[in-house]
Amino acid sequence: RKEVEQDPGPFNVPEGATVAFNCTYSNSASQSFFWYRQDCRKEPKLLMSVYSSGNEDGRFTAQLNRASQYISLLIRDSKLSDSATYLCVVAGSNDYKLSFGAGTTVTVRA
Amino acid sequence: GAGVSQSPRYKVAKRGQDVALRCDPISGHVSLFWYQQALGQGPEFLTYFQNEAQLDKSGLPSDRFFAERPEGSVSTLKIQRTQQEDSAVYLCASNLGGGLYGYTFGSGTRLTVV
């Protein structure tokens, strides 16, 4: 079983829509959580960290549920530029190694 | 430099050939990481350096894979006797002092073994 599992999508949404997706992780000892964004044939880039209390960054909201071991990302008022693959990332106590999910593809259409 | 630089950008190798992939981290970044990203998958950890010391090589898939960072800056990932399953994008990342934050990835080297 993979350490981080994501629904691959694709999620095809119109501009202005809200889209949300989750990932689950298997290691209950995981301590740090992130969402990375990866554009086609580009490198991953940090979108946001995910905190226990949930956090927002503009149109993006991330939630963490430690009891159920899942992380969610919600994108409000989708823009064409939000089209990308969103990678769920988890890290344990070793403090340097990132475990990535396979990614969820989002396509925003005009 | 301004970012993490990797070369070559693309590499086609015949099966059985040896390849060397180069990573130039951001100047002053102590920590350097290599990840392997197969098509349709997320990056998978290969190895971690702090300065010139290779502190973790648990992700290297076989003894055909070897990484070095002799002077604590530029790193080379070498793959001997390449196989088709080695085809992937090899990503290098660096950060200032280890930990999970401030990871900056390079654009990667796309290796195709034919």
pLDDT at B1 over 60: no
Q: Residue A12 has which token pair?
A: 């095809």
Indicate which of A49, A98, A99 best probes the interface with B, i.e. most B CBs within 10 Å of its own CB: A98
Q: State whether A97 and B45 contact (CB < 8 Å).
A: yes
pLDDT digits (tens, 9 = 90+) for A31-60: 899 999 999 999 999 999 998 888 999 999
Residue A52 is predicted with a pLDDT of: 87
Instruction: Report percent pLDDT > 90 for chain B.
Output: 91
pLDDT at B99: 76
Nearest CB among B41, B101, B106 relative to A43 is that of: B106
What is the Cα gyration radius of chain B? 13
Reported as a single tens digit per residue, the pLDDT across A54-97 is 899 999 999 999 999 999 999 999 999 999 999 999 997 777 89
Q: Which tops the pLDDT comparison, B35 or B103? A: B35
* DSSP structure class, residue A82: G
Instruction: Provide the pLDDT confidence category of residue B69 given band limits of 50, 70 and 90.
Output: very high
pLDDT at residue number A60: 98
Average pLDDT over residues B104-114: 97
Q: What pLDDT does B100 receive? A: 78
* Average pLDDT across chain B, whole number: 95
- Given this model, what pLDDT does residue B101 score? 80
Task: At A108, list the tokens.
Answer: 């925003």
Q: How far apart (Å, rounded) are the C-alpha atoms in residues A94 and A30?
A: 10
Considering only CB atoms, A91 lies closest to which of B40, B42, B100, namely: B100
A91: Cα within 13 Å, side-chain hemisphere = 20
Q: Is B112 in a helix, a strand, or coil? A: strand
